[in-house]
Structures are given as C-alpha cells and as structure tokens.
C-alpha cells in the first residue's frame, strides 16, 4: 500500500500519513484476527490468542522494517523488502512440507 501512494506529499497532517497509519493498524488487526480464526479449532482459545499476539508482533516488525526500507532506499527498498518477505514464506512452506513428508 505504501508503494501505491509513494508520490503523495508527506508530513504529519498529510493524506499519506493517514493512509500509512491506517495500513499499519489494519495489518495488525488482520494478522491477529486471522490467526485467532484459523488457530482456534486446532489450538483452543487460549493458545490461539497467544498465537495472535505473536502474529501481531510480526506484523509490527514488518511495519517497522517497511518504514526503515522506505527511508533508506525509497521504492527500491520497498520492493526489496517485499522480495525478502516472499522468499521467507516460500522457504518456510518448503521446510514445513519437506519435514512433514507430504504436500497439500
């Protein structure tokens, strides 16, 4: 989302800051809500809530890394961070299913 509105004027009262803040909050809420929804049946409510806290912390980390990548390298930094996130997801998927012995 930050990449799409990159050319907007910046500042504490600008539309860019409102969009960036909304994106960060939405990322935290979606990460926690989706984790609770998906994990509740398998883990129970208490463990699903703990997993949601971990997911929200991960979303906060990605938000912080996004800000740093934007400030350091601009659009290239955002694209590089996206590439790293996709690579980590693919690696985690492959590691999980190589150890389980089956693929979905």
Q: Which domain holds residue 96?
A: 15-100
- Average pLDDT on 94-102 reads 75
**Statement: residue 90 has pLDDT above 90:** yes
**5 is a domain residue:** no
Q: Which pLDDT value is given to residue 18? A: 81
CA gap 51, 32 in Å, rounded: 8
Give the pLDDT confidence of 17-52 residue by residue, as tens digits. 788 888 889 989 999 999 998 888 888 888 988 999
**82 is a domain residue:** yes
**88 is a domain residue:** yes
Total Cβ atoms within 10 A of residue 102:
6
Average pLDDT, the chain: 85
pTM score:
0.70
**50 is a domain residue:** yes
* Helix, strand or coil, per DSSP, at residue 7: coil
Backbone phi, psi, residue 70, to 5°: -65, -45
**Distances from the Cα of 102 to the Cαs of 71, 85, 94, 99, in angstroms?**
42, 24, 10, 8
**4 is a domain residue:** no
Number of domains in the chain: 1
**61 is a domain residue:** yes
**Burial of residue 95, with CB atoms counted within 10 A of its CB: 0-12 exposed, 13-18 middle, 19 or more buried:** exposed
């Amino acid at each position: 989302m930050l990449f799409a509105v990159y050319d907007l004027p910046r500042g504490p009262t600008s539309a860019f800051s409102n969009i960036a803040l909304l994106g960060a909050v939405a990322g935290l809420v979606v990460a926690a809500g989706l984790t609770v929804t998906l994990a509740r049946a398998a883990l129970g409510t208490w463990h699903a809530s703990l997993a949601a806290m971990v997911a929200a912390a991960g979303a906060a980390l990605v938000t912080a890394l996004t800000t740093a990548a934007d400030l350091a390298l601009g659009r290239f930094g955002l694209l590089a961070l996206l590439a790293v996130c996709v690579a980590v997801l693919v690696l985690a998927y492959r590691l999980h299913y190589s150890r389980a012995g089956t693929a979905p």
